[in-house]
């Protein structure tokens, strides 16, 4: 009896110590983010700029073991990512790698939670303990988990009632409202007018239970959250999915089908009232086929990823989400035998060049005054269409222009208040800066980027006040 009481006391003390220690790490390592005062960007609780650099790790909770999740999150931290977008429940039958079901009886209103607690990191208790583990591990690494409560296809099955959605939203918000590194992504690759009552129930219920975390809506390809929910109180910022296809699709601005011109989605959201931040939450993945499933077509490369990133951010986006075909599905030998050898596994794909190059964009944006930045195409005297487009943005004392092809840039000078400005070339592939020198700040000036004109020879021209 004494031995049993001693063991019980040990586990109680261990649990309390874990809670206290966890709370200390929680407070010190990740601060909740908020909307900036000008409503265009994100900021941390101290008011410092937060540039959203996301990765689509959609199946992180269900397909990776704990040690694998550690490896993935560590690598993304090293690359500069600060957000990972994840499905909480992909389907009503969702089971994780340990065989634990997310739901009891495939009922969204009844999460399958086992009474008790996981006393050590090595113990896998139930599906939700595993989710907790990954969320906490991400927090330790300064990464926010953007959680999609339930994927769109599960709702489109017609097997989820509004009441089930409410109960599930209550469960999620109560369980995670005290985690500092949570962002809510309502929806999940779905149009907002598909079962809108369910999305409204989830969004409004999470907002009521968890007023301190940001909420958006992750929409279907080539649509944006603002089409349905811009004026909703529960929607803090907008997200669009520019999609995975090419200019072979229709490009109809009247229907907001912008093809690869993802900057147009930003422009559309930027002009809405009330003002809310916006970003591309799912552009073309690195190493996914043009046309998404047609393997006879070429794949999107790091060059294409950079174009999507700089176009949307320079248009006024508050961040950008990168994606990789193998990483987003956490492709591994347990789930894919990979017979043709054409598609890599996640642990190899995390090293693909596009991921590393995204960190250069984040560093560039945070290296300048942040909250005064606006899109400004009036800087450009020779703007072009589609791949030839020159994307321009500026702050009070600087201006930046992005070219994806490395073609000649002609600028209308004088936007910065100074007689002369310092000019230089920023390389989006390496993050290195090459100085041009001082330039008279009036009239129209011509700048010729390094290298030959071709797709993927992208550069950022930077002008700064001395």
Whether 225 has a pLDDT exceeding 60, the answer reads yes
Residue the block writes with tokens 């600060």: 82
User: ∠172-177-183 over CA atoms, to 5°?
Assistant: 80
Mean pLDDT of the region 242-265: 83
Whether 15 has a pLDDT exceeding 80, the answer reads no
Q: pLDDT tens digit string along 399-419?
A: 999 999 999 999 999 999 999
Whether 11 has a pLDDT exceeding 50, the answer reads no
Identify the CA nearest to 354 among candidates 383, 317, 381, 320: 320
Check the CA dihedral 266-80-387-298 and report its sign.
negative
Amino acid 29: pLDDT = 62
Q: pLDDT tens digit string along 283-305?
A: 999 999 998 888 888 999 999 99
Q: Where are the domains of the chain?
A: 1-30, 32-366, 376-465
Amino acid 291: pLDDT = 81
Specify the range with the lowest mean pLDDT, choosing from 58-72, 104-118, 244-258. Answer: 244-258
Amino acid 217: pLDDT = 99
Amino acid 23: pLDDT = 38
355 burial level (CB within 10 Å; 0-12, 13-18, 19+): buried
Confidence of residue 124 (pLDDT cuts 50, 70, 90): low
341 burial level (CB within 10 Å; 0-12, 13-18, 19+): exposed
Amino acid 98: pLDDT = 95
Q: pLDDT tens digit string along 149-171?
A: 999 999 999 999 999 999 999 99
The CATH number given to 32-366 is 3.20.20.80
Homologous superfamily of 376-465 in CATH? Golgi alpha-mannosidase II (2.60.40.1180)
Whether 384 has a pLDDT exceeding 70, the answer reads yes
Query: Using CA atoms, how far apart are residues 321 and 51, in angstroms rounded to an integer?
Result: 11
Q: pLDDT tens digit string along 164-221?
A: 999 999 999 999 999 999 999 999 999 999 999 999 999 999 999 999 999 999 999 9
Phi, psi of 266 (to 5 degrees): -60, -45
Whether 362 has a pLDDT exceeding 60, the answer reads yes
C-alpha distances out from residue 117 to 15, 133, 173, Å: 8, 12, 19
> Residue 19: which residues within 8 A CB-CB, separation 6 or more?
none
Whether 122 has a pLDDT exceeding 80, the answer reads no
Give the bridge partners for 440, in sequence order. Answer: 420
0.85 cut: is pTM over it?
yes
């Amino acid at each position: 009896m004494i031995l049993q009481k001693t063991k019980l006391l040990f586990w109680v003390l261990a649990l309390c110590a874990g809670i206290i220690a966890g709370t200390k790490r929680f407070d010190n390592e990740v601060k909740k983010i908020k909307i900036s005062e000008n409503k265009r960007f994100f900021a941390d609780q101290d008011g410092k700029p937060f540039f959203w650099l996301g990765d689509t790790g959609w199946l992180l909770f269900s397909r990776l073991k704990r040690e694998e999740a550690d490896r993935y999150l560590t690598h993304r931290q090293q690359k500069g990512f600060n957000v990972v977008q994840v499905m909480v429940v992909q389907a009503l039958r969702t089971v994780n790698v340990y065989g634990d079901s997310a739901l009891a009886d495939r009922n969204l209103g009844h999460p399958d939670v086992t009474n008790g607690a996981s006393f050590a990191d090595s113990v896998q208790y139930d599906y939700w303990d595993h989710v907790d583990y990954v969320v906490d591990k991400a927090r330790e690494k300064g990464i926010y988990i953007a959680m999609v409560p339930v994927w769109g296809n599960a709702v489109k099955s017609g097997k989820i009632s509004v009441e089930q959605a409410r109960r599930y939203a209550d469960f999620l918000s109560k369980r995670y409202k005290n985690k500092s590194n949570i962002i809510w992504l309502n929806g999940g690759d779905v149009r907002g007018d598909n079962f809108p009552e369910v999305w409204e129930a989830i969004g409004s219920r999470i907002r009521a239970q968890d007023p301190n975390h940001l909420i958006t809506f992750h929409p279907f390809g080539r649509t944006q959250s603002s089409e349905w929910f811009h004026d909703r109180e529960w929607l803090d910022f907008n997200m669009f999915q520019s999609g995975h296809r090419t200019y072979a699709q229709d490009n109809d601005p009247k229907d907001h089908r912008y093809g690869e011109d993802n900057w147009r989605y930003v422009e559309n959201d930027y002009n809405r009232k009330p003002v809310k931040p916006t970003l591309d939450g799912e552009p073309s993945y690195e190493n996914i086929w043009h046309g998404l499933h047609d393997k006879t077509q070429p794949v999107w490369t790091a060059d294409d990823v950079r174009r999507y990133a700089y176009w949307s951010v320079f248009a006024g986006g508050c961040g950008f989400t990168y994606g990789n075909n193998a990483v987003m599905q956490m492709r591994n030998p347990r789930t894919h035998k990979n017979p043709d050898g054409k598609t890599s596994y996640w642990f190899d794909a995390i090293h693909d060049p596009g991921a590393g190059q995204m960190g250069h964009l984040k560093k560039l944006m945070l290296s300048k005054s942040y909250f005064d930045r606006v899109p400004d195409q009036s800087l450009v005297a020779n703007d072009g269409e589609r791949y030839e487009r020159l994307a321009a943005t500026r702050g009070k004392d600087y201006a930046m222009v992005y070219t994806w092809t490395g073609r000649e840039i002609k600028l209308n000078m004088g936007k910065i208040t100074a007689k002369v400005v310092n000019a230089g070339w920023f390389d989006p592939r390496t993050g290195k800066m090459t100085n041009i020198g001082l330039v008279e700040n009036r009239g129209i000036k011509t700048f010729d980027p390094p290298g030959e004109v071709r797709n993927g020879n992208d550069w950022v021209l930077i002008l700064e006040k001395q």
